Structure 1
C-alpha cells in the first residue's frame, strides 16, 4: 500500500506549541469548541451514559486529551485517518473527540462489513490507525497483514491481539490530561463515509467550520452564536440537553446528533443492546430523562410506537421534548400515534445527505401536521431543472434537489464524482446529490426518489422511495423495500418485498387497489412477496443489493 495521502481540505503543518484560538473570530474549529465547553461546564456533569458506565465532562476532556497525545507521540501527523470499527461505546465518542483534538480524521466503518469491504474503505481512505472493539480483533489482524501503513491499533474494550495493539482504557487513564497546546485550523475536516447500499462507500470531506455552520441552520436551534465566545456564553447559561441516538454512531446521523448535543455541553445516552430494542430505548429515555431522541424513520418509529401502545403509562417521558428523524421516511400516522402518547412533543424530519446537510425540515406537533414525505426547504435549498438551471422560487414542478454553500470539499480521492455532484450553476457552487423532488405551489417539497435507486421499467423512470411510501400507507404493512429485477418484457420489473404486521396477510389484489390512488399504473409493482425479514443495516437504511438478490431468488 502506498503512503497515506493528506485529504483534500485538510491543512498540513507541524503540530506543537501554538497560540490559543481567537474566540471572537467567525471561524469554527470543533476541537476548540470541545476545549472551551469542557472549561465552562461543571466537570461532574455526565457527558456519556452507557449501561452502568458514566463518563463525566471532566473525564471526557482529560481522557480524550491523553489519547490525542498518544496518537501524536506515535508519530501521526495532521490529516492522517483513523478508522473506527465499533458499536456504540463511550470510547467511540472519546476517540472521536481525541481525533479532533490531535487534528486526525475519523473514518466511520460499518461493523457489519466483511473483511474485503472494510479493506476497501481502508484503502480508499489511506488509514494509518484503527480504534476497534475486541470482537473485531480477528478482522483487524487480517487487515494489518494487508496494510503495512496501519501502524497503530487501539482496542477499546480489551488488550486486542499482537504486540502492535494498545489498550484504549490504559491510554485514556495515564499521562497528561490537560488541554493540548496546539494551533488548529477552522478547516480541519471530518470525513464521513456513505453507507454504500447501492455502490462502493464514498468519503465526503467536510471542513469543520462548514459542518458547524450547517448544524446551526436547523430550525431546532433557537440561538445562533456568531463566534466561539458567544457560543461558550450560551453554554454556560443554558440548561443542558440529553440526546439518545437510536442508530449507530458509525452512521452519519448518529454521530451528528451526538456531536450537536455535546458541543452544547450536554449528555449522550447510548443504548447497550447489540440490536435495536424499543423497550430498552424507552426505559433508558425515562431513567436518564432524555430530552431528544434521534431515529431513522419508520424502521425505528413503528416499534417505538408499538412498545408504547403495549405498555401505556409505563415510562415517564416528561423530560422528552423532541424526536428527530433523518435518512428515511417517517409516516404521518406513526407521528400521530407518538403524539397521542406524548402530545407535548415536537417531531422533526431532517432531510439531508452526507453531501448536503439541511436540505429540508418538516416539523410536526399536536397542533400542526405535515403530510407524509413533505418538507419545507432549508434556507440554502433550491431546485434544479432538467436543463441544469435553478428553477425560480415559487414555481411548482419537479427537479433535482440542491443546496448552496456551506458545502463539503467533495469526495475523498474522487475528482470525477466530485465534479458530478458539486456543480457550479449560474456562478455559484451547489451540491446536487441526486434526489428528485416535487415542489408544490406553497413552496413545500416532496422527495420522489434518488437517482441511484431509480428503476427504468418499460422506458419509464420509477423512484423506489415513492413506491415504498405508498406501500407503507396500506393497512397491515410494517415495512417494505422495492427493487427492479431483470425482465424480458419490461427491462426491469418493479418488485416489492413486504413485511406485514403480526397477524396481517399480504393480499396482492388489495395491495394493487390500495396503491391506485397514489401511483400511476406503471409504478405499481409487478410482483409482491410477503417476507419475514428485510435486509437493512443497523442504521435503518435498506441494503438494496441484498434485497435485489432476495427478490431474484424468490422469483425463481
Structure 2
C-alpha cells in the first residue's frame, strides 16, 4: 500500500499485498472474494464488532471490514466485562461471522490509507478489565518487517489461540503478509497444537503455551519426531532461560524468536540470538523504560471518544546495556507488601519455574490480618511440593519464599494464554476455589 495514497483494489490494505496464502481449506483468491463480499455490505469508515465461532470466517470478515475502511473489534465472549468494552468501542455495526451475509450496500473498496484505523484491540486484561485501543494500518504494516522474520513459500504458520488476542492476530497477519499458509486453532489446546506441529513450520505463542506444548512433545517421542517446526515465535511475557533450554533439547535446530511489546506499542524489542535488541527508539530513566515509536497506537477509546496516550512510559522496569540490548525486569507495580517488605513477584515466579514439573506459576497475595499479605504460589503442573519448598529455600531470600502453596490443573487465563492475574487475586481474596 502506498503511504498516504489509495491502495489497488486487488491489494488487501492491512496486508499491503494480494492474498495468496491458504487458510485452512480456503485459497487466497477464495478468501479475497469472501472479504470483498463482506466489505460491500459495510458502511465505509464505520466501527465494527465481529463475533462468531469460526476463526477463518472471523478473519475474512476482519479483512473485509478493513477493505471498507472500518475499524474492527474482535469480540471475546470471555472478557470479564464485555458490556463495558462495547461501551468504550461504541461499534456502529455488529457482525456475526457465523450468520448469512447482510444486504449488499455496493460499497466501493478499498477505503482509506495508512492513517486509517483498522483495528480496535484491547489490552491483555491480565490485571483487570481490558481497555480498548485504536490502531492505524500503518502502525502494523511497519511492525511486520520490524519482527525480522522473513517467511518461506513452503511455511505453514500455526496460530493456536483466538484472533481476539492482538498477539495471535499479529501472527496471523504477519503470515499472510509474508505469503505463508495459515492454520487457525481458535482455542488453545496443548494436545491439538502438538498434533498441528506435524505440518506447521512456524508457531506464535506465549511462554506458558510453549511450556505446555513442550510437555506434550517431551512425553510423546513419536509425535516429537514428526514435529515440523523450524521457528517458534514467543511473546506476551518474559521467556525464562530454562524454557529456552527445554526447546533446544526437545527440538534441536528449531529457531527461537522472542519479542517484547504490547498492544499499545506493538513491537519494542526482538531477540534473535542472545540479546533482546530494540527495534524502535528506547531509553531507560530511573529504571523505567521509555519508548518513542511509529509503531504505537493512536490512543484509548473511552465511551467512544479517543483519549490520546498521555505518556511514553511502558510501565516496565528495564536495564539497557552498553551494547544497546535490553533486559526487561518486569512491571514496576508487580510487588507484594508482606511484613513491611516489598517482594517482586516476577522474580519469584522465574525461580519457581526452574523446578521440574512446573508448567507455569503465578505468585500473588493472600490477605493476612497481621502481615498485610502472604506470598502465595499457585503452581500449574505436577511438581512435588517438597521439591518446590527446597528450591525456594536454596534460591530465595526468606522474605521472598511463598508461605502458601496451591497446585492447580490449569491456571485461569486470558484469551491470549496469559495468566488472568485479576481473576486469581479476586478468588484468593474471596476464598473461591481456583
1:537 aligned to which of 414, 419, 423: 414
In 2, distance between residues paired with 1:447 and 1:362?
Answer: 12
CA RMSD of superposed structures (Å): 3.3
In 2, distance between residues paired with 1:334 and 1:479?
Answer: 11
In 1, distance between residues paired with 2:60 and 2:79?
Answer: 23
Contact 1:66–1:175 under 8 Å retained in 2: no
1:376 aligned to which of 255, 276, 287: 276
What are the within-5 Å matches in structure 2 for residues 233-248 of structure 1? 239=153, 241-248=155-162
Name the structure 1 match of 2:361. Answer: 480
Q: Once the 2 structures are TM-superposed, how far is the Cα of residue 415 of structure 1 from its aligned partner?
A: 12
Q: Once the 2 structures are TM-superposed, how far is the Cα of residue 490 of structure 1 from its aligned partner?
A: 3.8
Q: Once the 2 structures are TM-superposed, how far is the Cα of residue 70 of structure 1 from its aligned partner?
A: 1.2
2:70 aligned with 1:104: yes
What are the within-5 Å matches in structure 2 for residues 27-38 of structure 1? 31-32=12-13, 34=15, 36-38=17-19
Contact 2:69–2:111 under 8 Å retained in 1: no
Name the structure 1 match of 2:148. Answer: 219
In 2, distance between residues paired with 1:484 and 1:301?
Answer: 26
- Relative to structure 1, is the Cα distance of residues 33 and 210 closer, same or farther in structure 2, using a 3 angstrom cutoff? closer
- Relative to structure 1, is the Cα distance of residues 443 and 526 closer, same or farther in structure 2, using a 3 angstrom cutoff? farther
Instruction: Deviation per CA, 1:430-484: give whole Å up to 9, x if none.
Output: x322011234455443322213534344555433222211211123322211112
What are the within-5 Å matches in structure 2 for residues 31-430 of structure 1? 31-32=12-13, 34=15, 36-38=17-19, 41=20, 46-49=21-24, 54-71=25-42, 76-78=43-45, 80-87=46-53, 89-113=55-79, 117-131=81-95, 154=96, 156-158=97-99, 167-168=100-101, 180-189=108-117, 190-221=119-150, 239=153, 241-271=155-185, 275-286=187-198, 289-297=199-207, 299-314=208-223, 317=226, 319-363=228-272, 370=274, 375-386=275-286, 398-413=287-302, 422-423=310-311
In 2, distance between residues paired with 1:539 and 1:197?
Answer: 10
In 2, distance between residues paired with 1:441 and 1:87?
Answer: 48
Equivalent pairs counted in the alignment come to 429
What are structure 2's unaligned runs of at least 5 residues?
Answer: none
Contact 1:495–1:551 under 8 Å retained in 2: no
Contact 1:401–1:436 under 8 Å retained in 2: no
Name the structure 1 match of 2:394. Answer: 514
In 2, distance between residues paired with 1:353 and 1:198?
Answer: 14
Contact 2:6–2:111 under 8 Å retained in 1: no
SS at match of 1:37: coil
TM-score (structure 1 length as normaliser): 0.69
- Relative to structure 1, is the Cα distance of residues 86 and 524 closer, same or farther in structure 2, using a 3 angstrom cutoff? farther
SS at match of 1:350: strand
Name the structure 2 match of 1:5. Answer: none
In 1, distance between residues paired with 2:354 and 2:289?
Answer: 25
In 2, distance between residues paired with 1:214 and 1:383?
Answer: 19
- Relative to structure 1, is the Cα distance of residues 310 and 183 closer, same or farther in structure 2, using a 3 angstrom cutoff? closer
- Relative to structure 1, is the Cα distance of residues 260 and 87 closer, same or farther in structure 2, using a 3 angstrom cutoff? same
Contact 1:355–1:408 under 8 Å retained in 2: yes
- Relative to structure 1, is the Cα distance of residues 521 and 417 closer, same or farther in structure 2, using a 3 angstrom cutoff? farther
Q: Once the 2 structures are TM-superposed, how far is the Cα of residue 193 of structure 1 from its aligned partner?
A: 0.9
SS at match of 1:412: strand
SS at match of 2:13: helix
2:432 aligned with 1:432: no
- Relative to structure 1, is the Cα distance of residues 514 and 484 closer, same or farther in structure 2, using a 3 angstrom cutoff? same
What are structure 1's unaligned runs of at least 5 residues?
Answer: 1-20, 132-153, 159-166, 223-237, 365-369, 387-397, 424-430
